[in-house]
Amino acid sequence: MALDAKQKAALFAGAGALRLLLFQAFPSLPNRLAGRVELSTPVSSFKRLQEGLYLYTHNVSPYDGGVYHQAPLLLPLLSLLPSASDHPLATNLLFTVVDLLSAHALGQIADTGRAASTRLFTSSRKSIRWSSAAIVAGYLFSPFTLAACMARSTSALTNLCILTAMAKASQGASTTFLLVLSAASYLSMHPLLLFPPLLALLYDARLDRSKSAPSPLTFTVMHTFGLLVACGALLVASALLTGSWDFLEATYGVRLLLPDLTPNVGLWWYFFIEMFDSFRDFFLGVFWLHVASYTPGLTIRLRTQPLFVAATLTGIFAIFTPYPSVADAALYLSLIPLFRHLFPLMRYTFLASASVLYASFLGPAFYHLWVYAGSGNANFFYAITLVWSLGLSIIVGDSLYAALRDELDVERPELRDKEVKRI
Amino acid sequence: MLSFLSFLLCNALIACAFAGSDYHERLLLRPLPQSTLLASFNFRSNESSVTYEQQNFRLFPRSLGQILQHAHTKELHLRFSVGRWDAENWGQRPWYGAREGSNGVELWAWIEANTEDEAFSRWLTLVNNLSGLFCASLNFIDATKTIRPVISFDPEGDHASTSNLHLLHGTLPHEVVCTENLTPFLKLLPCKGKAGISSLLDGHKLFDAAFQTMALDVRPVCETPGENCIVEMEQTVDMVLDIARSKRPRDNPIPRPLPIEEIECDTSKPYNAPDTCYPLDKRTEPAWNLTEVFGKSLKGACPLTATEGPESETLCINTPPERTIQVNTTGQYTESLSASDTLRCYKLPTGAEFDLVLPEQRMTTGLVRGEPHLYAARSINGHGQERGSVQVVIKNPSTTDPVEFAYLESLPWFMKPYLHTIRVNVPTSTEDPLKETYYRPAVDRVRGTHLELRLVVPPASTLTLTYDFEKAILRYTEYPPDANRGFDAPPAVIRILGPFQSADRKGLYLRTTPLLLSLPTPDFSMPYNVIILTSTVMALGFGNIFNLLVRRLVGADEVPEVAGGLKGIVQGKIQWLMGLFGKHQKSE
């Protein structure tokens, strides 16, 4: 059920036109959205990117300061564009194109059909699926994606890299996969955790294509080495560009140590505002360990469904990383429709969607009450971020249950539609 | 214009240093509009640098001298100020801004050191020692409040070599200057506030003034380069007193309305009646005398001042010649009129009290007032605790000369300016007024922002400088106890580079008022609640996922029916006990 060219062109043209129309019709909207804490975090904000560009073009090191925390190679690339404040069209076009490319990658993932049937596992419900067009439309017209695109946050670039890495892994294209995954890791660090499940996916895809694939060990070593080389090359290029290794502390150091406590939709900021100084380092370690712990657990248990593991991990990132934004959640929520066959097995869809909706409407309102109206305090927004994270984690947990139940139906068809228990 | 010229002349007279005696003091009084009075105290003591190096202190205070030598400080400038100089009404600052601070404490010094790190450690020694000496929180000037200005300050003194001198600058805008800072300040004077003009300085009146600033400046001065050097310490106190407010007796300070007979009424108002009055502004100069206004009497001259010549005239008043002034003293005094007539100076009697009495008088000529070279105002635009923008409005009153100036901003790290949003706008000109920018961005919790701009404002125009900034949210332990009051951003320093030049090397300065930033605050009462709630959400996610991952799904009918809860536990225990009992029986 591949996306036919006409349908695809119409869909992409519509989405592109909608974005450009919004940019043109509401010229103040992009800046307003870029100022929203839900969309722009200290590590992805467009305003900070502009400041970094300004410092870079004026020969001040952007990393010798506390404002710019994004990757160095973005600077020479984006400095080619005309200034966003004078000629916003070029930047708007860039972010629209990035969104369309991400949608294209998502379409490719859907086309491979690896969500429901992989080398080692084929779901008994694989016939229940949405067309690629529907999935792509779900991504392109999701209000979260639209808002993130309008805010021009650099999470869009990370999302593009992650989706392309998934697409390339499901197609079995090793080199491109390694390049885009290292680019994603270079931009935001945490996509590195997607490497094990995507490597498994790549291996399966390669084995499907040619029956004489290398041994798993050689394959893993080769690709790990390739990833290290690609990441290393990007880092060395950045160091050559900025003239020092200071950028490591200002980009990855900030993600690891959280010196900037600007509010966002995640769980870390308020926790570390209120944390006692002597326990700060301990809890930073615990929180990062917590994020990293999902990758091995999920990859080992769900070895047969690596694409599902990768999608679930993007959900984990949207909840548990230090600077998550709505753009991360948008990525996860648009990957969910790939697993349409699991929907009948999910138990808490109403609760989860209700709490996500509740948080998306009340979040901005409560933030306004706290910061602008002064009639609420920080706990208002904090409570909403808790609800948001809880809603997303219900979706993650529920879809995981559905995936395991689906697996059980294949292993033991006699238990289909029967009540099961965990032991 | 004539009054302005004479004003310049009299200032030049006062500023002119005369190297006869080693101790000079002078008080300049200048009535200002709206019944206010500027009192400008200046004390200067010299010590030859040879005896200074040998720690043989005579007039230079030993406590300060030893601190400066210990910290290798060659030149020191310290300001304690409260209030705002109202340039629109009061005109030019008394020392052209060179000795006046803006709110809080400001300190800058040239420190001799081989490396920047050494200079900084000596700077910390200096601020900690001065903190003890002046009973001020100067020790809170740390790396986040210290900058190294590039174009805004030049050394005033003669330094043999400037290669290893480091300029460091720190401000504490929130510091409340009060009487505990005045007492150590007076103790540095040779007459210690017991005689001479310093006997007029009283904490109650000084800190009740509309504007007051205390300055301490230490610099080396050489007659010829490297020879006959002296270390000069200059202390100045400037205050603008509201005469009516200062005249209130200390035991009865509540203002009361004047009896209606003493008020000038607007008789054109329809409601004007013997008991109803629309008061008009008084067009007369108020009556005052020194004792009333300063709350203390002037105890005669300090014996260390020169006995002859213009240096011996330690009290001057800067008013039009028509103003009547009566002298009230039992001792010998002399009065001299300067050439421009607007300055009358008095040589004080030694050991006898001295008072000037000015009666209420209707004047025909205006007050003596100099026009400032620039007017500056700075404010924050925008609302909310998340972000805002700073707007600086600088007006050049001159109709002929463009004024070039340096603008120095030292911002705390939690106020993050966006340099790409800087806009400098002069509506009357198309030329770019921004000539040069020095910028050192802040690093969270390590250092503050240092921004220096060189700008030109064309004649008779207004320059507007704006930039956006974002406010960081801090860790809850980093907020002061009064977190919702907000945080102060230090005043901006404006130095006029040209075409006006000061007669000496002090420079022409302006300072804006500090800014009050209201930062978003967390809830200070609930660290435990936040830790518990966040951990609960994380545990729910983690527990749910890992529970699914590590356990196996089986059909509900395949699991042995064991009742859960307490009943299950009790049943299990009973079964275990029975099993144990059974085994026991078997073995018997």
In this prediction, residue B268 carries a pLDDT of 87
**Cα B147 to Cα B410: distance, rounded to the nearest angstrom:** 7
Interface test with B, best of A273, A290, A304, A389 (most B CBs within 10 A): A273
Q: Which residues of A touch B542 (CB under 8 A)?
A: 290, 293
pLDDT single digits (tens) A303-326: 999 999 999 999 999 999 999 999
- Domain of A396 in residue numbering reads as 5-415
In this prediction, residue B305 carries a pLDDT of 87
Q: Say which DSSP state B298 is in.
A: B
Identify whether the C-beta of residue B144 lies closer than 8 Å to the C-beta of residue B448: yes
**Cα B12 to Cα B3: distance, rounded to the nearest angstrom:** 14
Considering CB atoms only, which of B386, B470, B546 is closest to A297? B546
Residue of A nearest to B533 (CA): A386
Q: Secondary structure of chain B: what % helix, strand, coil (to 5)?
A: 25, 35, 40
Q: Which residues of B touch A420 (CB under 8 A)?
A: 553-556
Interface test with A, best of B451, B468, B475, B559 (most A CBs within 10 A): B475
A251 contacts: CB under 8 Å, gap ≥ 6: A43, A63, A69, A70, A71, A72, A189
Strands B553-555 and B449-457: unpaired
Does residue A420 fall inside a structural domain? no
Is the confidence at residue B63, as pLDDT, over 90?
Answer: yes
pLDDT single digits (tens) B413-443: 999 999 999 999 999 888 899 999 999 999 9
**Cα B453 to Cα B493: distance, rounded to the nearest angstrom:** 11
SS3 B428: coil
Chain B contact present for A294, CB below 8 A: yes
E strands, B181-323, where? 211-224, 227-242, 284-285, 288-289, 313-318
Q: Give the pLDDT band (50/70/90) at residue B288.
A: very high
Q: B418–A51: do the CB atoms touch at under 8 Å? A: yes
Does residue A109 fall inside a structural domain? yes
**Which residues pair with residue B516 across a beta bridge?**
B488
Considering CB atoms only, which of B445, B527, B538 is closest to A276? B527
Identify whether the C-beta of residue A114 lies closer than 8 Å to the C-beta of residue A205: yes
SS3 B248: coil
Is the confidence at residue A77, as pLDDT, over 60?
Answer: yes
Which of A 352-391 lie inside 8 A of B, CB atoms?
Answer: 370-372, 374, 377-379, 382, 386, 389-390
Q: A297–B521: do the CB atoms touch at under 8 Å? A: no
Is the confidence at residue B533, as pLDDT, over 90?
Answer: yes
Q: Which of A98, A272, A256, A237 is nearest to A189 (CA)?
A: A256
Residue of A nearest to B521 (CA): A378
Q: Give the pLDDT band (50/70/90) at residue B11.
A: very low
Chain A contact present for B521, CB below 8 A: yes
- Region for B78 from its dihedrals, namely left if φ exceeds 0, alpha if ψ lies in -120 to 50, beta otherwise: beta
**Cα A195 to Cα A178: distance, rounded to the nearest angstrom:** 9
Is the confidence at residue B322, as pLDDT, over 90?
Answer: no
For every residue of B387-422, DSSP letters joined together read EEEEEEEEE---SS--EEEEEEEEE-TTEEEEEEEE
Mean pLDDT of B463-475: 94
Burial, A399: exposed, middle or buried (Cβ in 10 Å; 0-12, 13-18, 19+)? buried
Which residue stretches of B286-327 are H helix?
290-294
From the CA atom positions of chain B, what is the Rg in Å?
A: 33
In this prediction, residue B564 carries a pLDDT of 64
In this prediction, residue B562 carries a pLDDT of 60
In this prediction, residue A278 carries a pLDDT of 93
For B30, the enclosing helix (H) or strand (E) is strand B23-32
In this prediction, residue B5 carries a pLDDT of 45
**Cα B464 to Cα B484: distance, rounded to the nearest angstrom:** 30
Q: Secondary structure of chain A: what % helix, strand, coil (to 5)?
A: 70, 0, 25
Measure CA B149 to chain center: 17
Q: Give the pLDDT band (50/70/90) at residue B257.
A: confident
CA distance B535 to chain A (A): 9
SS3 B524: coil
Q: A421–B559: do the CB atoms touch at under 8 Å? A: yes
Residue of A nearest to B472 (CA): A262
Chain A contact present for B273, CB below 8 A: no
In this prediction, residue B583 carries a pLDDT of 61
- Four-point Cα dihedral B251, B253, B254, B260, nearest 10: 100
In this prediction, residue B561 carries a pLDDT of 66
Considering CB atoms only, which of A298, A405, A418 is closest to B556? A418
Chain B contact present for A226, CB below 8 A: no
In this prediction, residue B16 carries a pLDDT of 40
Chain B contact present for A50, CB below 8 A: yes
**At A45, which amino acid appears?**
S
**Cα B50 to Cα B56: distance, rounded to the nearest angstrom:** 9
In this prediction, residue B10 carries a pLDDT of 45
Q: A404–B553: do the CB atoms touch at under 8 Å? A: yes
Is the confidence at residue B102, as pLDDT, over 50?
Answer: yes
Mean pLDDT of B70-80: 95
Q: B545–A290: do the CB atoms touch at under 8 Å? A: no
Interface test with A, best of B144, B545, B554, B559 (most A CBs within 10 A): B545
Q: A393–B537: do the CB atoms touch at under 8 Å? A: yes
Is the confidence at residue B569, as pLDDT, over 90?
Answer: no
**Cα B439 to Cα A57: distance, rounded to the nearest angstrom:** 14
**Cα A114 to Cα A110: distance, rounded to the nearest angstrom:** 7
A44 contacts: CB under 8 Å, gap ≥ 6: A70, A153, A154, A155, A158, A188, A323, A325, A327
Mean pLDDT of B383-410: 93
Considering CB atoms only, which of B413, B538, B555 is closest to A420? B555
In this prediction, residue B255 carries a pLDDT of 83
Which of B 431-450 lie inside 8 A of A, CB atoms?
Answer: 437, 439-446
Which of A 296-325 lie inside 8 A of B, CB atoms?
Answer: 297-298, 301, 319-320
Mean pLDDT of B105-117: 95
Q: Say which DSSP state A238 is in.
A: H
Q: B441–A272: do the CB atoms touch at under 8 Å? A: no
**Which residues pair with residue B28 across a beta bridge?**
B40, B316
Percent of chain A beyond pLDDT 70? 99
Residue A199, token pair as written in the block: 């490597």
Chain A contact present for B549, CB below 8 A: yes
Instruction: Please state which of the four CATH numbers 2.60.40.740, 3.30.70.1450, 3.30.70.100, 3.30.950.10 is assigned to the domain occupying B375-517.
Output: 2.60.40.740
Considering CB atoms only, which of A50, A274, A290 is closest to B527? A274
Residues recorded for chain A: 423
Q: How far is CA A155 from CA A82, A402, B381, in A?
A: 21, 29, 30
Does residue A421 fall inside a structural domain? no
- Residue-averaged pLDDT of chain B: 88
Q: Which of B467, B460, B475 is nearest to B519 (CA)?
A: B475
Handedness of CA A152, A158, A161, A165 (dihedral sign): negative
The tally of domains found in chain A comes to: 1
Burial, B427: exposed, middle or buried (Cβ in 10 Å; 0-12, 13-18, 19+)? exposed
Identify whether the C-beta of residue B435 lies closer than 8 Å to the C-beta of residue B465: no
Q: B385–A371: do the CB atoms touch at under 8 Å? A: yes
Does residue A422 fall inside a structural domain? no
A93 contacts: CB under 8 Å, gap ≥ 6: A20
Mean pLDDT of A182-200: 95
SS3 B445: coil
Chain B contact present for A272, CB below 8 A: yes
Residue B200, token pair as written in the block: 């007029």
In this prediction, residue B21 carries a pLDDT of 62
For B464, the enclosing helix (H) or strand (E) is strand B462-471
- ipTM of model: 0.93
**Which residues pair with residue B465 across a beta bridge?**
B392, B424
Q: Which of B294, B509, B481 is nearest to B408 (CA)?
A: B509
Chain B contact present for A420, CB below 8 A: yes
Q: How far is CA B309 from CA A127, B237, B318, B356, B427, in A?
A: 110, 24, 19, 21, 52
Q: B413–A297: do the CB atoms touch at under 8 Å? A: no
Q: B533–A64: do the CB atoms touch at under 8 Å? A: no
Q: How far is CA B200 from CA B217, B301, B307, B315, B355, in A?
A: 21, 11, 20, 11, 11
In this prediction, residue B536 carries a pLDDT of 95
Size of interface A-B (CB pairs under 8 A): 169
Chain A contact present for B387, CB below 8 A: yes
Considering CB atoms only, which of A319, A378, A386 is closest to B522? A378
Identify whether the C-beta of residue A283 lies closer than 8 Å to the C-beta of residue A171: no
Peptide bond into B417 cis (omega under 30): no
What b/e readout covers A174-205, taking b as 16+ CB neighbours within 10 angstroms? beebbbbbbbbbbbbbbbbbbbbbbbbbbbbb
Which of A 109-138 lie inside 8 A of B, CB atoms?
Answer: none
Task: Decide which of A370 and B280 is more confident.
Answer: A370
Q: Which of A411, A417, A395 is nearest to A339 (CA)?
A: A395
Residue B70, token pair as written in the block: 């210990």
Tell me which of A191-205, B52-66, B281-295 is least confident: B281-295
**Cα B140 to Cα B130: distance, rounded to the nearest angstrom:** 11
Does residue A362 fall inside a structural domain? yes
For B304, the enclosing helix (H) or strand (E) is none
Q: A277–B548: do the CB atoms touch at under 8 Å? A: no
- Region for B96 from its dihedrals, namely left if φ exceeds 0, alpha if ψ lies in -120 to 50, beta otherwise: left
In this prediction, residue B584 carries a pLDDT of 59
Is the confidence at residue B588, as pLDDT, over 60?
Answer: no
Does residue A253 fall inside a structural domain? yes
Interface test with B, best of A41, A261, A301, A319 (most B CBs within 10 A): A261
Residue of A nearest to B544 (CA): A397
Is the confidence at residue A2, as pLDDT, over 60?
Answer: no
Q: A273–B385: do the CB atoms touch at under 8 Å? A: no
Q: Give the pLDDT band (50/70/90) at residue B7.
A: very low
Q: A386–B537: do the CB atoms touch at under 8 Å? A: yes
Identify whether the C-beta of residue B328 lies closer than 8 Å to the C-beta of residue B227: no
Identify whether the C-beta of residue B551 lies closer than 8 Å to the C-beta of residue A297: no
Percent of chain A beyond pLDDT 90? 83
Q: A377–B521: do the CB atoms touch at under 8 Å? A: yes
What b/e readout covers B51-63, taking b as 16+ CB neighbours within 10 angstroms? ebeeeebeebbee
Q: Give the pLDDT band (50/70/90) at residue B365.
A: confident
List where CATH 2.60.40.740 sits in chain B: 375-517
**Cα B296 to Cα B298: distance, rounded to the nearest angstrom:** 7
Chain B contact present for A260, CB below 8 A: yes
A343 contacts: CB under 8 Å, gap ≥ 6: A128, A349, A402
CA distance A27 to chain B (A): 17
E strands, B245-353, where? 284-285, 288-289, 313-318, 326-329, 334-337, 343-347
Considering CB atoms only, which of B413, B476, B533 is closest to A66? B413
For B101, the enclosing helix (H) or strand (E) is none
Is the confidence at residue A364, as pLDDT, over 90?
Answer: yes
Q: B545–A66: do the CB atoms touch at under 8 Å? A: no
A37 contacts: CB under 8 Å, gap ≥ 6: A262, A263, A264, A265, A367, B386
Task: Decide which of B376 and B281 is more confident.
Answer: B376
Does residue A423 fall inside a structural domain? no
